[in-house]
Amino acid sequence: MAEVVIVENAAAAGALVATEIVELIESRPDAVLGLATGSTPLPVYLALRTQLAGHDVSQVRGFALDEYVGIDPAHPESYRSVITREVVEPLGLDPQRIHVPNGAAATIQHAGDDYEAAIAAAGGVDLQILGIGTDGHIGFNEPGSSFASQTRVKTLTEQTREDNARFFDSIDDVPRHCITQGLGTILKARHLVLLAFGEGKAQAVADAVEGPLTAFLPGSAIQLHPHATVVVDEAAASRL
């Protein structure tokens, strides 16, 4: 079973996971980080601003989990923009070393394979940060995703579009498709760190950690991983 760490609040979780990342970078200056978007990982990135200060991060590499399809990369809510704004710029990372799947139409046929090849060429992900959707999705692997899936284009569920509508002017502006690392891709990372906060995530967390292994709860894939850590607050842990 995944190791479950219950902390007081999101800030404490952020500090804990940031410490882990700093230790990784100290032991391996060209560490490969698996980056996630959504609100959940933000406390980690915030804590890293302080904890990474004074460290040489010029060699650090990173791969984001997912991206919307059919959105201008310059759109403020594209995951490319979010990763630039929340991670690359404040932490002073080299933008050339931080990758986000390419959701631009012209390359979409081979974007998944290209991304898999880039991760493999980097030697794989050392530490993958994960959030979880209310329906149990990780990355954008919605219920029904194969545990063996690789980076590919997917259709977003209405639930996820509604959940993410808060980042857009209206739900009509939320893209309908995405490109996401597969569950099989995510499981190849050497360490998974799944974070969740608040009552709204409690059921998804309980199902992911203790429920049956099922494609209908993509987060349950973490049970297949030999080194998965789940960092939650009391509310998100309340159904464990």
Q: Which residues bind ligand GLP (CB under 6 A)?
A: 36-40, 65-66, 131-133, 139-140, 160, 164
Cβ at position 86, least distance to ligand GLP in Å: 12
Q: Which of 142, 163, 207, 233 is catalytic?
A: 142
CB of 139 to ligand GLP, least distance (A): 5
Contact assessment for residue 139 and residue 131, using Cβ atoms and an 8 Å cutoff: no
> Catalytic site residue 227?
no
Q: What is the DSSP letter of 77?
A: T
Q: Torsions phi, psi of 136, nearest 5?
A: 90, 10
Q: Which is nearer to ligand GLP, 121 or 172 (CB)?
A: 172
Shortest Cβ 174–ligand GLP spacing (Å): 10
Note whether 137 and 143 are within 8 A (CB).
yes
Residue 212 DSSP SS3: coil
Starting at the edge strand that comes first in sequence, how are the strands of the sheet with 98-99 ordered?
A: 3-7, 228-233, 191-196, 127-130, 32-35, 61-64, 98-99
Is 36 or 83 the residue whose CB approaches ligand GLP more closely? 36
* 114 is annotated as an active-site residue: no
CB nearer to ligand GLP: give 78 or 160: 160
Please say which residue, 96 or 169, places its beta carbon nearer to ligand GLP.
169
Count of CB atoms within 10 A of residue 212's CB? 9
66 a catalytic residue: yes
Q: Measured from the CB atom, is 22 or 129 closer to ligand GLP?
A: 129
Known catalytic residue: 56?
no
C-beta of 37: minimal distance to ligand GLP in Å? 5
| DSSP codes of every residue in 104-152 | -GGGHHHHHHHHHHHHHHTT--SEEEE---TTS-BTTB-TT--TT--SE
Q: How far is the CB of 44 from ligand GLP (least distance, A)?
A: 11
Give the whole-angstrom CA distance, residue 202 versus residue 15. 21
Residue of 67, 135, 163, 207 marked catalytic: 135
Q: Report strand pairing: 32-35 vs 127-130.
A: parallel
Would you name the residues annotated as active-site residues?
Answer: 66, 135, 137, 142
